[in-house]
Structures are given as C-alpha cells and as structure tokens.
Amino acid sequence: MSDEPQPHSGPEIENLFAETRTFPPDPAFAAAANAQAGIYDEAAADYVGFWEKQAKERISWFTPFGETLKWELPFAEWFVGGELNIAYNCVDRHVERGLGDKVAYHWIGEPGDTRTLTYRDLMVESSKAANALLELGVRKGDRVAIYMPMIPELPIAMLACARIGAPHTVVFGGFSAEALSSRINDCGAKVLITADGGWRRGKKVGLKHHADEAVTQAPTIEHMIVVDRFGDGAHMVPHRDLWWHEIVDRQSEVCPPVPVDSEHMLYLLYTSGTTAKPKGILHTSAGYLLGAAFTHWAVFDIKPDDVYWCAADIGWVTGHSYIVYGPLANATTGVMYEGAPDAPTWDRWWEIVEEYKVSILYCAPTAIRAFMKQGEAIPEAHDLSSLRVLGSVGEPINPEAWRWYKDVIGGGKTPVVDTWWQTETGQILISPLPGVTTTKPGSATFGLPGIDADVVDADGTSVPNGGGGYLVLKRPWPGMLRGIYGDPERYKQTYWSRFPGMYFAGDGAKRDEDGYIWLLGRVDDVMNVAGHRISTTEVESALVDHKSVAEAAVVGKNDPISGQAIFAFVTLKSGQEPSDALAVQLREHVAYVIGPIARPKFLLFAPDLPKTRSGKIMRRLLRDIAEGRALGDASTLADANVVDAIRSNTGKAEED
C-alpha cells in the first residue's frame, strides 16, 4: 500500500492561486434564476426540514413518508416509510399532466442517424421492456445487469427496471468481459441487457462477444436481451439469448409502476477504490431521486424550454444522475449522443449545439482541454448563442480551461458551474449556484444548500481560510450511498473511519482566504484519468496477472489533456527480457482485463522497485520519477541505486 496519503502539492496549486479574477452572476440571469440567495439560509436553519419540503414538492408519492431522516451513523434512511416509483416520477406523471408530446431525448447516433423520444414514447417503451423482463421472471428486488452503448434502449432499460422495482447495475461499455462478469457475480444479476455493439470513431465496437464471454463466468445470468444496433446479426445462444425487437416489441404497452419503499435499492454502480476489487455503490430510491432532481434544477437552472446536454456516458454516475434520473424527474428535454467528440471531425459537438439549440452543456474538463488543443476556430465557426449555462464535472478544472470554456464556448456571457461530487454522493454537493455565486475560475466554490462540506487537517479539525487538508462532509444528504453492496464493514472503513463522524471523500482540498473550496485531486491510490476513477491497485493486479511480470507499481502522472495518465513500473520475472513488444503486450493485457480506459500510457521496465527497508513500495518516489521532478525525501529507501537505474530509463516509457 502507499505511504500515508497527503494532499498533492504539485504545481497545479500555484496555478490555481495565480487566478484572481472573480465573476459575479449577471443581474438579469440572477433575477430569473431558479435558486435565489435565500435558499442557503433556509437550508442551514433546518436542513432536515429543507429536504422534507423538497421531497414533498418534487416527488409524487404513492404513500407519504413519516420521519424525514433516520440517521444512525453511518447508516441513513431518508423519507422513512414512503412509497413511490421512480419510473412513474420520471415519465408517467409528466404524461398524465399533458407533457406526453414533450421531447425527452433528442438522440443522435454517431453515423448521423437520429431518434426523437417523447415522454409518451419513453412511457410506452419502458413499459414494454418492463413486461419483457417480467416475462423472463424478473421480479421486484432481482438485479439486472446492463452493458450497452449510448443508445435510447439504455435509459429505456434502466426505466424498465425501475418500473418493476428491479435494481440495475449498468456496466460501462468500455469495460472488459472480465470486469463485466465480476460485477454480475458480485450482485447476482439474473438478466443481462446488452447490444451487438455501438459506433465509436466511425468503427463498430462490438459488445456481444464480451457479454458472451462474461456470461460463461457468470452463472446467475439466465437470459440476455440483445439490441440490434448494427443489423448484421450476431451469434445468439438458443433459449438464453433474445433479440430486444423480438421480445420487447410484442409486449403490452401498459405496465403499472410497482410501488417501492423509499429505501428500496434503485441501482448499484461499481467504482474503483484503493483495492483491486471494485465497490458496488448502493443507491436507493427516494433520496437519490430527490438529490438528483433538486440539484439538476438548482445548479443548471433548468427551465421548461431548455435543451440540456450532458455529454457523459450513462455507464458512469454522471449519466445516471444527470442524463437519466435528474433531468427526467424534471421533465427536461435532453440531447443524447452516441459517439466521440471528434467523429467525424472536431466540429461534431458544436454542430449538435447549433442544430438542437442546446442551452445547457455539462461535460468533463478533459473534453474541454481536448477542444482547446484544436483551437478556437472550430467552435467559432458555429452559432453557440443558445448556450446559457455551462457545467464541468469529474476532475479539477484548471483556470485556463475554465476561462476558455466560458469565453470561447459561452461567448463570455454564460455562468460556468464547476460541480464536485462522486459516484458515492449520487448528487452534486459542491458547486456554484449560477444566479447567486460569484465564481472563481478553478474553484467549485461552496457546498450547496443543505450540504455541510468542510476541509479538515489530519486530526479532523476544520482548517482556517487559507488552509489545506482533506475534504469531508459533516451531515447526511438524500442522494448519499447507503452502503457497499454486501460489505457494510468496507463501507464503514472506507468512508467513515478516517475522521470519526464525517464522510471522507478521498480528495484533498484547500480553502482560500475568501472561504472558497478548491479541489486538489485524490489523496489515496485512485487515479483520475479523463474524469474516470481507476485504482492503481487494480491496474497493478492486472499487470502481475501476466505470466512475465514479477511485480508492478502504478501511479498517476499529470497529463495536460486527461488530468492524469497511468504510469506503470514493471519488474519482470527472471529470464524475461524487456522489449517493446512485451510493453505492447502488457498494455493490451491491462486493456483486456479491465478495459481500454485502463491501458497504461506510460510503461517502464525497472530492474527493481524502490522500497523501504520493510519492503513497502515507495510510490511517492515513483510519482516524482514519473513527473520528472526532483526526488523528495529518500532516506527510508533500502537501496538508493534502484532509483538511479529507473530514472536513467524514463525517456522510453511513453506509448508511441
């Protein structure tokens, strides 16, 4: 394991503090904003009462709840005894009040095909899909795994599960067969919904063969439903596999939403922690929906005629909360795009904004930096004047990218909301409110109303303005995870043991002289690559799983586009010779075991790894080597020659 975690003190901190400009909200925007300044005080005066009121206003209940919050640290129950249905709240109730013809999603396939789904379409399609699941024996509480590209059947499948109270676990389509089977096995899913594949950069990316391979290792799966995206046919296993169009299309269009308890499991979403085993983050129904819907309304200032585009993949939590549940609960019109931002050219996103008159855009800093690199001329060739709010998520946004986003994409007039949250938090917790908060480029600013976010030192004491330390949350919130599936001990250990009574997020943070919070990246063994969390330990396990590898250590290296890049140090077994071919093989091996997102960008063969006398790998030194900076304290190193041997080699690490 690593040295004692410390907030990173890399050059990015100096950058942050070089930025002194502030941006107050535009008065006209502020006057019409959904969330007004008074909301902070209202929530601070009685946060439980605040959420109670929100829950009564925003959720349609089949049975009203009693107690608002039952808090037995670290286990929360929100809206105790209430009954609701998430699909009803996201779809049916809007149709009932006359919004059946409102567009829920403008879907755009990468090759240029499009589909428009109204709220009525979503109701009908999710009902048919739910009836198909019922036909296959799925009942309330049974888990369903979903492994799909960004096609309309993905949110439809999620809503179908929610309609019958079957928790889903969506596995990002970029994960490997092995990653898929381990998640299915952890939760014991009965049915897998997948597709033949999806389009990415002009190529067909197949999923069905991964799904087949996964299911050979996942005995709980009884059936697979397969969407036909390509129309080329696929190998179907008789009795087990069913085409979506065959089983779903013939179902009844009516499937009454099943009432579930407020605390009924809505979904599991697996995320990386500091060990090789991903954690099944458990989200329940009412609190999660409220957290997603309230923040979507307040942070993005959603109005009935907005066209909102969250450019994440639904396979990550951002897509769950801010493509599916939050926006649909608010009856929003959304854009959903299947493919890559540069397919066929870097104009693609801006063409979409122009054509659909997108008014709110939410994406990751990695994407913004990638666009910056292509130059201003590309976005400037398009009419982006429909944009009125821009959001950022997933990693710290550097001030240059923040300003570029505001000036070049937002024409200098749009507020930028830098939103901090996690798979575990379910909802945005730290962010400006666009009509209230004076922003500073690079700062996520303050905890949202009802949220008590703080920065504490190693002893858990709140740091004064100007201080740095660890980000914690001092109160429960409705969208919070309810646990790690099947592992309450790990839940307590991971989040609630570092600072007693507080939720520890694993992020370093600073609070500046004005009290603004600046996120500084992970302080544990988790990397943030293009806004995706990847555990160093998981990549190391994948490497040592290869027959030539004796030992591996993985660190995150700062990267101008993706935030961090994966840097692997590999020691081979005796008799194995380092070679370029082997480096390629090892990278492919990691991609095979975890998925292409985890393929190391840098891979360096090292005769030995720097260790303490007690045999602990000194990652801190490896990080220094990876960054090419002067070594920190190396006095506890057992053999100083090891570091010299590695350093003399670093130029050869980068992938061609």
Stretch that binds ligand PRX, among 168-176, 219-227, 394-402, 550-558 (CB under 6 A): 394-402
519 in contact with ligand PRX (CB under 6 A): yes
Nearest CA-CA partner of 160 in 111, 261, 91, 77:
91
420 in contact with ligand PRX (CB under 6 A): yes
C-alpha dist (Å) from residue 12 to 18, 131, 512, 560: 10, 52, 15, 11
**DSSP-based three-state secondary structure for 471:** strand
313 in contact with ligand PRX (CB under 6 A): no
389, 408, 444, 453: which one binds ligand PRX (CB under 6 A): 444
432 in contact with ligand PRX (CB under 6 A): no
Q: How far is the CB of 269 from ligand PRX (least distance, A)?
A: 9
Measured at the alpha carbon of residue 266, what is the angle toward residues 312 and 198, in degrees to the nearest 5? 35
Stretch that binds ligand PRX, among 163-171, 354-362, 415-423, 581-589 (CB under 6 A): 415-423
329 in contact with ligand PRX (CB under 6 A): no
- The answer to whether 232 and 254 have CB atoms below 8 angstroms apart is no
Q: What is the DSSP string of 5-25?
A: P----STHHHHHHH----BPP
**Residue 624: CB atoms within 10 Å:** 19
Structure tokens at 571: 């020691």
Q: Give the separation between CA 314 and CA 53, rounded to whole angstroms.
A: 29
Question: Residue 220: exposed, middle, or buried by beta-carbon count in 10 A (0-12, 13-18, 19+)?
Answer: middle
Nearest CA-CA partner of 552 in 577, 570, 539, 573:
570
Q: Which is nearer to ligand PRX, 16 or 606 (CB)?
A: 16
Q: Applying CB under 6 A, what is the total number of residues that bind ligand PRX?
A: 21
Q: Which is nearer to ligand PRX, 156 or 436 (CB)?
A: 436
User: Where in 261-300 is the site for ligand PRX (CB under 6 A)?
Assistant: 271
**194 forms bridges with which residues in the sheet?**
147, 226
Q: How far is the CB of 509 from ligand PRX (least distance, A)?
A: 9
Q: Give the separation between CA 384 and CA 355, rounded to whole angstroms.
A: 10
Q: Give the separation between CA 349 and CA 364, rounded to whole angstroms.
A: 13
Q: Which is nearer to ligand PRX, 264 or 533 (CB)?
A: 533
**144 forms bridges with which residues in the sheet?**
168, 191
Q: Which is nearer to ligand PRX, 505 or 598 (CB)?
A: 505
Q: How far is the CB of 426 from ligand PRX (least distance, A)?
A: 9
User: Where in 186-225 is the site for ligand PRX (CB under 6 A)?
Assistant: none
User: From the centroid of its chain, how far is CA 419?
Assistant: 12
395 in contact with ligand PRX (CB under 6 A): yes
Q: Which is nearer to ligand PRX, 244 or 567 (CB)?
A: 567
Stretch that binds ligand PRX, among 302-310, 391-399, 594-602, 605-613 (CB under 6 A): 391-399
179 in contact with ligand PRX (CB under 6 A): no
Stretch that binds ligand PRX, among 118-126, 419-427, 545-553, 624-632 (CB under 6 A): 419-427
**DSSP-based three-state secondary structure for 241:** strand
394 in contact with ligand PRX (CB under 6 A): yes
396 in contact with ligand PRX (CB under 6 A): yes
Q: Which is nearer to ligand PRX, 2 or 131 (CB)?
A: 2
Binding string, residues 469-508; x marks residues near ligand PRX by CB under 6 A: ------------------------------------xxx-
Stretch that binds ligand PRX, among 149-157, 185-193, 390-398, 538-546 (CB under 6 A): 390-398
* Residue 404 φ/ψ, nearest 5 degrees: -65, -45
422 in contact with ligand PRX (CB under 6 A): yes
423 in contact with ligand PRX (CB under 6 A): yes
54, 194, 318, 414: which one binds ligand PRX (CB under 6 A): 318
445 in contact with ligand PRX (CB under 6 A): no
C-alpha dist (Å) from residue 8 to 59, 539, 556, 620: 41, 21, 11, 10
Q: How far is the CB of 3 from ligand PRX (least distance, A)?
A: 19
**End-to-end CA separation in angstroms for the chain:** 30
Question: Which DSSP symbol is given to 387?
Answer: -
Q: How far is the CB of 6 from ligand PRX (least distance, A)?
A: 15
- In angstroms and rounded to an integer, the radius of gyration of the C-alpha atoms of the chain is 24
Measured at the alpha carbon of residue 450, what is the angle toward residues 449 and 452, in degrees to the nearest 5? 100
528 in contact with ligand PRX (CB under 6 A): yes
* Residue 84 φ/ψ, nearest 5 degrees: -155, 175
Q: Give the separation between CA 50 and CA 213, rounded to whole angstroms.
A: 48
Interface residues toward ligand PRX, by CB under 6 A: 271, 317-318, 393-396, 418-423, 444, 505-507, 519, 522, 528, 533
